[in-house]
Structure 1
Amino acid sequence: MLPRRRHDLVQSFYMERLPYIDEHAITLDANRADTWSALLRVMCRDPHDATTVPVGFVLDEARAPARFALKGRHWFAIYRWVFELDELDGAARTRLRAATWAAFPGIHGKAYRALVIGTGAHRVAVRWTLKRVAARVHSRNTPVP
């Protein structure tokens, strides 16, 4: 079955293989299970339901405690945001990586890419998200006096 609109055709093409944008990472002094829990508390409206992701995204994959992937699209972009949790130091620490793939079709997409990627706004948002996850991990692991 062929897509009904040109935008659907572009979307179906790009969702197969989106261009790589970037990857950011942070190392946390927590195991993967605690990091996974913190990631869900930051990224989901209901941490017990991984499908309650931010507006503009849908859940693409949730494989605890290793991979959490979101995808989305609108008129100016088609995108995928993937978080991967790598075990370090015999499970005592976790490397949380956030990778982004996106396509920006057409002239409006080109302008949108310049606005989001070119200004550094995307980089700031991803790093802020990683810092929020780190804060959630540390707040949960801090003993209450």
Structure 2
Amino acid sequence: MEIASLPFVDEHVTVIAAEADDVWHALGEIVERSFSAPRAAGYARLVGSPDRTASGPRPLAEGSTFPGFRVAAALPGRELALEGRHRFSTYALIFHLDHAGPGRTLLRAETRAVFPGLAGGLYRRLVIGTGGHAAGIRRLLSAVRRRSEQPRSGTGAPDNGSQQE
């Protein structure tokens, strides 16, 4: 299923006090670490996702996989689009990086998904309706913000704080 045809679920946003390239690198690290944890592989297996292991090019590029997701698009400094499917849902998580002023980047995490049938509706209620998905995405964005605002090895860039919306 084409990502654009999936129904919109939600969007979460944070402003990061770092350039888009720094946010891009941090996003790749955090996404890889978060979704490649052993519990993610177990969950992907439990719900029947075909993508259960990390494979493909690194750093993340189109065709890379990790449990529950396949990279549909990777436009450095601009967009990382992940897609996946399992017994209860077909979904996409798209990260958009936008310029927010000198030394600042707006990072948006957009979720799109369809939850077919009765089982899909129950799954949606469990994952989306309880607020679990939103909490997880907010934690992920906060981790990207913290990592982005830390000096990268050899850059000497200062840690200059942030603002979250």
- Please tell me the TM-score bracket, short chain as reference: 0.7 to 0.9
SS of residue in 2 equivalent to 1:50: coil
| Match of residue 123, structure 2, among 89, 108, 112 | 112
Q: Equivalent residue for 1:36?
A: 24
Specify whether residues 29 and 15 from structure 1 end up closer, same or farther in structure 2 by C-alpha distance, changes over 3 A only: closer
Post-superposition CA distance 1:54-93 (Å, at most 9, x none): 4100001000110000000000000000000001214x10
State the structure with bigger RCO (CA 8 A, min sep 6), 1 or 2. 2
How many Å separate the matches in 1 of 2:82 and 2:72?
5
Is contact 1:26-1:96 (8 Å) kept? yes
Indicate yes or no: 2:17 matched with 1:17: no
Q: Which has the higher helix share?
A: 1
Aligned residues: 131
CA RMSD of aligned residues (A): 2.2
Looking at structure 1, the residues matched to 58 and 29 of structure 2 have their Cα atoms a distance apart, in angstroms, of 8
Rg larger for: 1
Which consecutive unaligned segments of at least 5 residues does structure 1 have?
1-11
Counterpart in 1 of 2:51? none
TM-score of the superposed pair, with normalisation by structure 1: 0.82
CA deviation string 1:2-60 (max 9, x = no partner): xxxxxxxxxx4x75611100000000100001110110110125994205554100001
Contact 1:43–1:54 (Cα < 8 Å) also in 2: no
- TM-score, structure 2 length as denominator? 0.72
How far has the Cα of 1:135 moved from its partner?
A: 1.3
Tell me what 1:125 maps to: 136
Asked if 1:57 is matched to 2:45, the reply is: no
